[in-house]
Structure 1
Amino acid sequence: MSAAARPANISTGPGAPVTTLTVVGGGFAGLVAAVSAAESAAVRSGRTRVHLREAHHTAGGRARTADGPYRTNEGPHALYSRGPLWAWLRRRDLTGPVAAVPVRASLGVRFHRAGELRRLPPMAVLRLGRRPAHEAPVDADFHTWAASLIGERDARYAAHSIGVAVFHHDPGTLSARFVQERLHRVLAMPPEAKYPVGGWGSVVDRLVAHAVRLGVRIDTGSRVSTAELSAAAALGPVIVATSLPAARGLLADDTLVQQSGRTALLDLGLRARRGDAFIVCDLDAPGWVERFTAQDATLAPPGEQLIQAQLPLAPDESRHAGIVRAERLLDLGLPGWRERVTYRSEALAAGRTGALDLPGSTWRERPAIDRGNGVYLAGDQVAAPGLLAEVSFNSALEAVSLALRTPRHHGTNSSRRDTRTRG
């Protein structure tokens, strides 16, 4: 079905050629790309039209929020208010109502270490989090660098604490620069995290509506084949804003590989009870449990709470093992939760948790945005900087910039390693 009618007729002058910019994928990256392209001078002048195609029956990708009384996202989601994505959404009035972490709820943050819940992490971890990312080396792993500053034990705690932002079973093995950027922002005070009221789907709905107002044609339930992509590329630039595995198949390009994480996800609806923890952060191993109704009561029916947990998994670890670890954290932070369950859902997110940079690499070594021949990539595992969804955002803006300023079909394979992303 179509999420929007075709754009209104645009006067381009007698005989003036009209180029179609095609966006494949209606997730966050694809929607940002479509809006950014529609705001460009090329589209406003009528020289270019924007057509977005999404295989699913609704737009949103991993930013979708489930319908029904329990408004779950695919794992814990938040916007970070010091990043470029937040500023871009705010300028366009697309965030809608947002909730910050309430003071009362913040008192319910607990840290699991040495088998017990504590109210504060080690002070050494907080001190490390104040160090800006540029102080951390790219070539060293995070644990080695952190241990040289705060000791082995606290370095492990620091690495595990950032599991919420890297979705990796052993963050200490990743690049120190990559992990420290995330630690610095997650531990920032006051907290950066902002929560769209009603879930991330509310932001998606506003993005879709804004794109339609700008004249973007959006077709949902419209899967693109390799042959159709080639045909679209003959009419104008194409931005592939799918998951990286999907892009690899669509473009028949085996080089589109990037390390990502595996994570067990657990969503729970619970009858509310005073005294439940707001957050349980596992420092003995990466893991995160959050009571999202603490800041947004609309996510569950009255008198109930929505809990979302994510537990990063080792390559040989099962989803069940991660769920068992989540349940142990729940036993500590939300006593009696088993007798209060009104809703439960489990899932495994494999390769759907963003890019990970190993020692010696940065975002610049990820798959390049410019694939040559008028095809560009956008998404959370490509060559763009930022925290979580900001990678999708930055890559989408850069893909549009390249697509609209580069002559069609003049790209070459050699350009792929030279692509650099702003931000």
Structure 2
Amino acid sequence: MQRIHIVGGGLAGLTAAITAAESHAPVTLHEAHRTLGGRARTSDGPYLTNEGPHALYRRGPHWTWLSKRGLLGPLASVPPLEGARFLFHRGGTLRRTPPLGMLRLARRSARTAPVGTDFLSWATAETGEAGARAAAHYMGVALFHHDPGSLSAAFVQERFRRATALPPEAHYPVGGWAALVERMAARAWDLGVRIETGARIGPRELAGLRRGGPVIVATHLDSARALLEDPALSWESGRTVLLDLALRTRRGDPFIVSDLDAPGWIERFTAQDPTLAPAGEQLIQAQIPLAPGTPRADAVRRAEELLDLGFRSWRDRATWRREALASGRTGAVDKPGTTWRDRPAVDRGDGILLAGDQVAAPGLLSEVAFNSGIEAAVLAVKLLATTARTDTRTAT
């Protein structure tokens, strides 16, 4: 019997599996690892770290999709200002406020920003160079890119508006991404999705799957390029050093330190979700985008300098530390003259569909994976139905 096969069990693959199964299509999900989640995996305790941010953005379409299915689960919101300080590193020191020009820019509609102009040039004309550079560097947290100012003005401004919205859009799944992944996997299982973990699919295995029905490749774009043997599957991404730390708790530690002198971000995730670390400890993550060819040690040094400014005696309080380099795994970024529509298409033809965070679907961060997973599933269900009708006509 024809069925939909999905390669990859991250957010895109799980979203596609649930969407397709809700249409009563037979679905098999193949995941190479022993656990589901992809980039949304949460490390095993006692320190529940993620590969990048822990946040879901409230106004995104994926929020509605998850909510309708009862999958959001417990969420933490941004702590109140009196309980968690938000500090900005500019001019070499920590300040409580960003430049006025950056605040003015946050009120500009994304529709006024041109696709074909770089963000720094457009923003400088709108609000002055100081505010423009601060806004560009601030967006390092949402783009994982070493030079957000060089990207399309429309692309960056849309995300800048959402990242600075009041009340804040960011909400945090309690327990990290793993809790959300578990709920999605349970939903898929209840709908009859066949889930096969430890199942590595190569080009030869893919050819066999294609004979059995539509295939959704919901992997990292580099993996999809190798699996499909298609060199055209590429898009600009970022390179970011992640420094995770557990510190003994001390009153007065900030919630966030945003570097406005260069792209960089430090967030104390236990400020909103204390379950991420044992009692008496705090979990902190520094994210420092790194230019191509720049040594990883440079980003680690910058992270430590920001920690020195914001987290008093952090070296003496550290109980655990982990460093990682996320290279090309940080979602798509659009250069001037391009939009999400120019990325690799979801429909690759011949029954192959693509889903993930670097393909032709709109959204901020993980929203691209959700949106492309939904679109790929809808197309796969249509292909399956077309095949069934053809087989019926042939049989009669």
Note whether the superposition's TM-score is higher than 0.5. yes
Which of 122, 132, 139 is 2:109 aligned to?
132
Pairing 1:151–2:102 present: no
Q: Which runs of 5+ in 1 are unaligned?
A: 1-17, 410-423
Corresponding residue for 1:412? none
Pairing 1:336–2:319 present: no
Corresponding residue for 2:61? 84
Pairing 1:322–2:305 present: no
Corresponding residue for 1:35? 18
Amino acid of the structure 1 residue aligned with 2:251: R
Pairing 1:24–2:7 present: yes
Q: Is the 8 A contact 1:97 1:197 kept in 2?
A: yes
Pairing 1:365–2:348 present: no
Q: Is the 8 A contact 1:57 1:221 kept in 2?
A: yes
Amino acid of the structure 1 residue aligned with 2:36: A
1:254 and 1:151 map into 2 onto residues whose CA distance is 41
Q: Which runs of 4+ in 1 moved over 3 A?
A: 104-107, 406-409
SS in 1 for 2:26: strand
Q: How does 1:154-303 map to 2 (within 5 A)?
A: 154-303=131-280
1:334 and 1:372 map into 2 onto residues whose CA distance is 52
Corresponding residue for 1:351? 328
Computed over aligned residues only, the root mean square deviation of the Cα atoms, in angstroms, reads 1.1
Deviation sequence 1:74-95 (CA, Å, 0-9, x none): 1222000011111111111111
Shift in Å, 1:104: 4.2
SS in 2 for 1:235: coil
1:250 and 1:93 map into 2 onto residues whose CA distance is 34
2:57 and 2:107 map into 1 onto residues whose CA distance is 17
Q: Is the 8 A contact 1:76 1:309 kept in 2?
A: no
Distance 1:107 1:66, change over 3 A: closer
Number of aligned residue pairs: 386
Corresponding residue for 1:93? 70
SS in 1 for 2:159: helix
Q: TM-score, normalised by structure 1?
A: 0.90
SS in 2 for 1:327: helix
Which of 358, 363, 374 is 1:397 aligned to?
374
Shift in Å, 1:127: 1.6
Corresponding residue for 2:394? none
Q: Is the 8 A contact 2:221 2:233 kept in 1?
A: yes
Corresponding residue for 1:122? 99
2:326 and 2:179 map into 1 onto residues whose CA distance is 22
Corresponding residue for 1:417? none
2:103 and 2:200 map into 1 onto residues whose CA distance is 47
Q: Is the 8 A contact 1:65 1:72 kept in 2?
A: yes
Corresponding residue for 1:308? 285
Q: How does 1:374-385 map to 2 (within 5 A)?
A: 374-385=351-362
2:82 and 2:63 map into 1 onto residues whose CA distance is 23
Deviation sequence 1:258-310 (CA, Å, 0-9, x none): 01000000000000000111100000000000000000000000000000111
Deviation sequence 1:302-323 (CA, Å, 0-9, x none): 0000001110001011111101
1:104 and 1:248 map into 2 onto residues whose CA distance is 45
Q: TM-score, normalised by structure 2?
A: 0.96
Distance 1:130 1:196, change over 3 A: same
Shift in Å, 1:106: 6.2
Shift in Å, 1:141: 0.2
Shift in Å, 1:132: 2.1
1:132 and 1:153 map into 2 onto residues whose CA distance is 19
Q: Which runs of 5+ in 2 are unaligned?
A: 389-396
Q: Is the 8 A contact 2:54 2:173 kept in 1?
A: no
2:90 and 2:157 map into 1 onto residues whose CA distance is 21
1:305 and 1:134 map into 2 onto residues whose CA distance is 40
